[in-house]
Amino acid sequence: MKYELTEVRSSGGEASIEVPREFFGYVARDVIEVIIDSGGEVLLEFWHLGEDVRVYVQQRTGKVLAGPGPSDLVFANSSISQFNRCVQSLTARYPFAAEDAEPEEWALAALEVEKIVHAIDPPAADDGTFWSDFEAEVSMGDYI
C-alpha cells in the first residue's frame, strides 16, 4: 500500500481538498460532493468505502466526520491535515502484523494503531470514533 495525496475539487472548482488517494478499500472521490445535513451543516464528501462509509469535512469547523450518511456520522479527526497524517502514519506502519498472526498479536497491533492516532490527534483515538472503529477491526484480524 502506498501513501499518495490527490486533490479533489468541487464540480465548480470553488473548493478543493488534498486527501489520500486510497487507504485499504477507501478511495478519494473524483469530485467533492456537497451535502447539507438536516441541521443545515455543509459537508464536503471526499472519500468513500463503496456504498458503506463516506468521509466528509464539515465546512464550518473543518472537522472530519465519517459514517454511512450525513445523518449518522462519527468524529474522525480535528482537521483534514490530521486525517491525512493518520492515514500516512498508518500506511507507513502497515502491515500491522504477520499474515499468520494470532489474536494476541492482533490486539497488540490494535494498541499500536491507537497510539499512532492518539499521537497525531488525541480525540480521534477516543471510543466511538472512525479510528476507534478501525482499531477494533484490526483487533479482530482485519487490515492485518
pLDDT in single tens digits along all 144 residues of the chain: 899 999 999 998 888 999 999 999 999 999 999 999 999 999 999 999 988 999 999 999 999 999 999 999 999 999 999 999 999 999 999 999 999 999 999 999 999 999 999 999 999 999 999 999 999 999 999 998
CA distances (Å), 81 to each of 76, 77, 135, in order? 12, 9, 20
Contacts of 111 (CB under 8 A, 6+ apart): none
User: First vs last Cα of the chain: how many Å apart?
Assistant: 12
pTM of the model: 0.95
The whole-angstrom separation of Cα 66 and Cα 116 is 19
C-beta atoms surrounding 72 within 10 Å = 9
My answer on whether omega of the bond before 95 falls inside 30° of 0, hence cis, is yes
